[in-house]
Amino acid sequence: MSLPRCPHCRTRHIIKYGFTERNLVFKEIGKTNVNVQRYICKRCDKTFQTDLTNLVDKNSNFTNELKSEYEYLISDYLESFKNVCKSFKKFFGITVSHQTIENWLFVN
């Protein structure tokens, strides 16, 4: 992992500033509490946290890997949203509402 930079002024003059706890849902291990490192910039005094956009979308707790599974289930089995929810519960032990899956479909 590279040294973090301030996303506002792009400097490396930052210090650690605690953690933010997030509840993320992974395909393999299910729901997990994750501590995300927060930083404060010494130059512009703005706070930010470790970038997780390659792992999860903004304002989402479901990982991108988990979200890719619904596309597979819908395209290969032509299942309804409720059947996809049951498949998530059966294969991964994760409860996902049919509305969440429908939202994923419309975003993509």
- What is this structure's pTM? 0.70
70 close to 84: Cβ distance less than 8 angstroms: yes
pLDDT tens for 13-29 read 999 999 999 999 888 88
Q: How far is CA 79 from CA 14, 24, 34, 76, 94, in A?
A: 49, 25, 32, 8, 17
Considering the chain, what is the average pLDDT of its residues?
85
Q: According to the model, what pLDDT value does residue 77 have?
A: 62
pLDDT tens for 67-103 read 887 777 777 665 677 788 888 888 888 888 888 888 8
Q: How far is CA 55 from CA 19, 24, 50, 52, in A?
A: 18, 10, 11, 5
* Longest CA pairwise span in the chain (Å): 54
